[in-house]
């Protein structure tokens, strides 16, 4: 949802689409607040917070797919510390992956410099960021990312969107799961410059298809919500 906030009554009714009872839904909401994954305004309205709000923000950025100009330069992030704990290493890897860098080898991450990279949070002072200009950027991109696999999955999701018309209440639950799958896949899009992509790259087509589909889904969800209000 955008903004990621809803009244508890609507949240409970939505979870009912998935066979979750009102009591279980309210318990889950309370646990989310306690763990910092949601906040409550005290008047029965809940909003995503913490890592879930951050994920929602990443989803929005992935869906937009906006990139800057590409002049041939790449970001090169080199981990400069050793002996970090497993938790620190895991947080570092997640942060770099969220930035759409890929690991060339242990401790060395790269991506084209058509996206901004900010070394904050879990990275601390453990990573040195610089730029490089690969001799064969196309080959390097295909080494770092499995572009054929991403393309195949994207085409399958486009077909699924076409097959599931979200124009009736019965489509809301399976549509929610399909929407989540599309958004997850878009987050895995490396957002490479056009010059480094296969000619038939389906990223733009998937985004266009999902935008149209999501507009219809939201309209059906709004009608269903009003009918139950």
At 71, the pLDDT band (50, 70, 90 cuts) reads very high
Q: How confident is the model over 143-189, as pLDDT tens digits?
A: 999 999 999 999 999 999 999 999 999 999 999 999 999 999 999 99
The CATH number for 145-228, chosen from 1.20.58.1460, 3.40.50.2300, 1.20.120.1770, 1.10.730.10, is 1.20.58.1460
Q: Per-residue pLDDT for 119 more than 80?
A: no
Going by C-alpha positions, the residue among 218, 225, 207 that lies closest to residue 59 is: 207
Q: Residue 101: its pLDDT value, please?
A: 96
Place of tokens 């997850």: 184
Closest CA to 65 of 226, 229, 223, 201: 201
- Per-residue pLDDT reduced to its tens digit, 170-181: 999 999 999 999
DSSP string, 169-229: GGGHHHHHHHHHHHHHHHHT-----GGGS-TT--HHHHHHHHHHHHHHHHHHHHHHHHHH-
**Calpha distance 52→56 (Å, rounded):** 6
Check if the beta carbon of residue 77 is closer than 8 Å to that of residue 109: yes
Per-domain boundaries in the chain = 5-48, 74-133, 145-228
What's 74-133's CATH class? alpha beta
């Amino acid at each position: 949802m955008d903004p990621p906030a809803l009244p508890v009554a609507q949240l409970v009714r939505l979870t009912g689409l998935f066979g979750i009872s009102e009591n279980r839904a309210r318990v889950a909401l309370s646990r989310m607040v306690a763990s910092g994954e949601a906040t409550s305004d005290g008047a029965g309205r809940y909003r995503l917070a913490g890592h879930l709000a951050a994920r929602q923000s990443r989803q929005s950025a992935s869906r937009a797919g906006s990139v800057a100009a590409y002049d041939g330069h790449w970001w090169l992030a080199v981990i400069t510390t050793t002996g970090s704990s497993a938790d620190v290493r895991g947080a570092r890897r997640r942060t770099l992956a969220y930035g759409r860098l890929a690991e060339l080898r242990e401790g060395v991450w790269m991506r084209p410099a058509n996206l901004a990279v900010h070394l904050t949070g879990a990275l601390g002072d453990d990573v040195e960021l610089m730029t490089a200009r690969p001799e064969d950027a196309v080959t390097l991109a295909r080494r770092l990312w499995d572009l054929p696999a991403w393309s195949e999955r994207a085409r399958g999701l486009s077909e699924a969107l076409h097959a599931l018309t979200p124009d009736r209440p019965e489509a809301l639950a399976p549509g929610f799961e399909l929407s989540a799958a599309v958004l997850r896949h878009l987050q895995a899009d490396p957002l490479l410059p056009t010059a480094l992509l296969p000619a038939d790259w389906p990223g733009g087509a998937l985004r266009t298809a999902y935008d149209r589909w999501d507009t219809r889904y939201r309209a059906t969800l709004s009608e269903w919500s009003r009918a139950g209000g």
